[in-house]
Amino acid sequence: MITGKYPSLRLRRTRKYSWSRRIVKESNLSASDLIYPIFLIEGKSRKKPIKSMPGVYRYTIDHLDKIVRNVIKKKIPMIALFPTTPKNKKDKNGTEALNENNLVCKAIRFIKKKFNNNVGIMCDVALDPYTTHGHDGLVKNNYVINDQTIKILVKQSLLQAEMGCDVLAPSDMMDGRIGEIRNSLDKNKFHDVQILSYAVKYASNFYGPFRDAVGSNKLLKSDKKSYQMDFSNSNESLREVALDIKEGADMVMVKPGLPYLDIIQKVKENFKIPVLAYQVSGEYSLIKNGIKNKIINEDAIIESLMSFKRAGASAIVTYFALDIAKKLKD
């Protein structure tokens, strides 16, 4: 509540000089707030551009040495791994997700051997990169079935934990999967493996470039509205978060980011739990193309990231992480 009035009260006084603006700054952004997503492809010495995401590439595992060294150098605390599974390794049940020699598993082992615990590894838990239908779970009669899918997700989570994944990130939106995954991890003595639940994941129109990147976009014959949230809803997000916390989530994700700043703020205020935001592929591409075409300038990147912090996000998954980290100071 503002007390006082003009002219004795002048809010512009503290805005006049740079040093003064820094003193009264309410939100801060550093490299420690960023998580860098990496897309993986099979082969050697390959770096394949993603057309719908300018400046973002799919990499073979041998590129990870240089990339992760750069991540650590820039003080980014964690990377997130996403595979582009070859068509011949996809099937309706996402069997490749349970292969200890799939792209993600091989990447985890490579990174852990090279860098030990100097960087965190976040792994997506969902079946969409591995299925021929592009959905996050098993499909029966054109419907993604919940409980049978969870059984596969538990196995996928346990496999990734065995490989050395630090943070499991179920993005599938099946009811009850957090509790089942946590129970399985604890039963198998993976007490320290963290769960970052995509508790609030909307059926959004901003995911297109990501689906191009992992090769699921053209496979989808229907939308994901039967399991992802309706973007008209707000209170439902609190119910989703409450359930996942009760089941054992250490952190929660809100996805997408910019269109849902109100949700980030609401979740943070209600639960006081670490809340992460995902600046998704569509958000990235809109900003990147806006800069490329000189519609906006590069400072829009910092502005967009700062909006997440202002809303209450503890960290941000963003494709801008490497480029922007060098401009930030811890």
Q: Which residues are the active-site residues? A: 201, 255
Structure tokens at 55: 């400046």
* Whole-angstrom distance, CA of residue 154 vs CA of residue 125: 9
95, amino acid identity: T
Taking Cα atoms as reference points, which of 148, 43, 140 lies closest to residue 85?
43
SS3 313: coil
Taking Cα atoms as reference points, which of 107, 153, 147 lies closest to residue 130?
153
Taking Cα atoms as reference points, which of 214, 213, 219 lies closest to residue 55?
213
Residues 6+ apart with CB under 8 A from 270: 238, 241
225, amino acid identity: K
Give the number of C-alpha atoms closer than 13 A to the C-alpha of residue 272, restricted to the C-beta side. Answer: 0
SS3 181: helix
